[in-house]
Amino acid sequence: MSHPPHKDYDGAKLGMWLFLFTELLLFGGMFLLYAVYLKRYPHEFAAGGKQLNWIMGSANTVILLTSSLCVAMSVTAIQRDEPRRAVALVAGTIICAAGFMTVKYFEWSAKIGHGIYPGSAHLKAGAPGESVFFSLYYMTTGIHGLHVLIGGALLGWIASRVNTGTVNAREFILLENGALYWHLVDLIWIFIFPLYYLVL
């Protein structure tokens, strides 16, 4: 596929990939921390994972996979000079992001309602490894949720640029980079889901 005649297409792509690399380092550090403590508290981590709602986790996995499909299709649509379709597909991605956060809200609310949150009396009374598991869970999913919110806002702004014609069939690097960021958000969740919800 030939690149559009963007005056700094390669620079914009390189900058985005470098940014995504720093994001991978951030989450990679958290996954490494998880691995260290999993080796130390395998039984407590397994017990903690059983307390998470895997149905909600699975639903959010499907939601994010759908959102990634929509944003990928939006890039194809803008390349084909179909701005209205591109905006509709980005809107679909944003709706999926809202759905993901809604599910996460109910999931967190249920856990907090049962007294399961960092520093709670319930966790202080339990095994140390269980407290570590949920501290990592809240930290990792919280930072990921923040990325979902940022990604949704970013895509909303990009959609407005498509509407004004700033992003078009010849200048679509902004949408392409936004899609790359969203794919990273999806990819990170693909690792979070089995590590926390399916841990044995």
Position 82 scores a pLDDT of 97
All domains of the chain, ordered by start, with CATH? 42-197 (1.20.120.80)
Position 45 scores a pLDDT of 96
Q: Could you give the CA distance from residue 69 to residue 86 in angstroms, rounded to a whole number? A: 12
Position 7 scores a pLDDT of 59
Count Cβ atoms below 10 Å from residue 13 Cβ, excluding itself: 16
What are the structure tokens assigned to 45, written together?
A: 């981590």
Instruction: Provide block-wise average pLDDT over 10 residues at a time, the chain (200 residues).
Output: 58 89 95 97 95 96 98 97 97 98 97 93 90 96 97 97 94 95 97 93
Residue 146: which residues within 8 A CB-CB, separation 6 or more?
Answer: none
Position 9 scores a pLDDT of 80
User: Is the pTM of the predicted complex or chain greater than 0.85?
Assistant: yes
- Residue 97 CB-density burial (10 A; 0-12 exposed, 13-18 middle, 19+ buried): buried
- DSSP-derived letter for residue 114 is T
